[in-house]
Amino acid sequence: MELKRVVVTGLGALTPLGNDPETYWKNLVLGKSGAAAITRFDATKFKTKFACEVKGFNVQDHIHRREARRMDLFTQYAVVSARQALNDAGIVAEGFIGDEGSEEALEYAGKHKIDPDRSGVVWGSGVGGFESFMNEAKNFYHGDGTPRFSPFFIPMMIPDIAAGHISISNGLRGPNYATVSACASSTHALIDSFNIIRLGKAEVMVTGGSEAVITEGGIGGFNALKALSTRNDDPQRASRPFDKTRDGFVLGEGAGAIILESLEHALARGAKIYCEMVGGGMSADAHHITAPHPEGLGATNVMRATLEDAGMQPSDVDYVNVHGTSTPLGDIAETQAIQKVFGEAAYDLSISSTKSMTGHLLGAAGAIEAMACIKAIEHGIIPPTINFEHQDEDLDPKLDFTFNKARKRDVGAALSNTFGFGGHNASVLFKKYSS
């Protein structure tokens, strides 16, 4: 069968650098860091006392208080970012327009009506409702042993509930589920949504991911793994991918939402098209639960699979937004994989790790980093890898990591990598739209 072409028509974002796509992108280009002292809990006794939190988010500005209380923070982020993306795309489900004169009816006025049965949601989260789990566990532990739990505990905790809430709150009745693959979760969500549309199973998909694990358990657990930076005296310079002195990642949170649509459907309604999604690849390291394959085997395979899926050559790619977490092993393995896949063309690539600014959003990382690729294509700018000071002898100095300052460049195609605990690898490829 002939596969349908898939385009990006809407974006939504809640990030440590801004609570909408334009603010997020502006601060990426400026090379700003979202890291600061943790405000969610008293981190005095923790080895790491800072993170990249979402700032200035008041859920009651977006969701009724009664409904918000029944959602974990990761779900609140998901619902709000998804609504942003749908509004950006200018679409609403047919028949889902609210009562006459209501806020919903006013918001949906003028939007293009889409078929709710041909519109769905695939949403990624690596952890799900971790804060809700922590709170219920603490309440039980500090009680008298009598089992008292919120009736909303389970639906607040399960990772698929964000996709459910997005579907319910927007009347989308097409394919609806969650992807859970640690830090590759939202990239897998993008790939599944892409394939659903390519195969003609839906016309419009809301996809992306959200995460909210800046809690005692999140920081403490990653500290126990020795995965986090402990540069407490200088948080904004702590995430330093590819720098010789890197000592671990900085935990982030937030959400990214992307509207994928069949080209035919987008053209029929006169939609604004950001770019075209042309490929997605998946692989496994089959090596270790937390460490990458030392030779970057899984990363090599996933990038090759993505290029093959897109029918493109390595020389066709201008920009790679790397997983680049700022860990000693991971940065080297990914760089080796890029050189294996791209060969001599690797030296013509622009490479950057936007985690140097956002921190690591775990299951939501793929969504906001795919968005960075989309914006790079739209604006012709490569966002930087900030905080570079010391050359690592194990990394090829001839590679262009876009250190410390954004650079103008025409971007015809951009690839985004995400790799998760368990050896899960996923990559996606976007290119400029042309008829």
Q: What is the pLDDT of residues 68-101, one digit of tens each?
A: 999 999 999 999 999 999 999 999 999 887 666 6
Q: Are 76 and 68 in contact (CB under 8 A)?
A: yes
Query: pLDDT averaged over the chain?
Result: 96
In the chain, where are the structural domains located?
7-275, 281-431
The Cα 91–Cα 114 span in angstroms is: 7
| Percent of the chain with pLDDT strictly greater than 70 | 99
Closest CA to 82 of 254, 233, 226, 257: 257
CATH 3.30.360.10 given to domain 281-431: no
Q: What is the pLDDT of residues 34-69, one digit of tens each?
A: 999 999 999 999 999 999 999 999 999 999 999 999
**Would you place residue 361 in the very low, low, confident or very high pLDDT band (cuts 50, 70, 90)?**
very high
- Point out the least confidently predicted range of 105-109, 168-172, 291-295, 296-300: 105-109
- What the block records as the tokens of 55 is 């700032």
Please tell me whether residue 105 adopts helix, strand or coil conformation: helix
**Would you place residue 113 in the very low, low, confident or very high pLDDT band (cuts 50, 70, 90)?**
very high
Determine the pLDDT at residue 108: 81
Which positions are annotated as active-site residues? 183, 323, 360
Q: How far is CA 349 from the centre of its chain?
A: 22
Determine the pLDDT at residue 101: 64
Q: Is the pLDDT of residue 1 over 90?
A: no
Please report, to the nearest 10 degrees, the dihedral formed by the alpha carbons of residues 225, 228, 230, 236 taken in order. Answer: 180
Closest CA to 7 of 258, 337, 305: 258
Domain 7-275 class, CATH top level = alpha beta
Closest CA to 353 of 308, 312, 393, 395: 395
- Residue 358 per-residue DSSP state: H
The Cα 360–Cα 29 span in angstroms is: 18
Determine the pLDDT at residue 146: 87
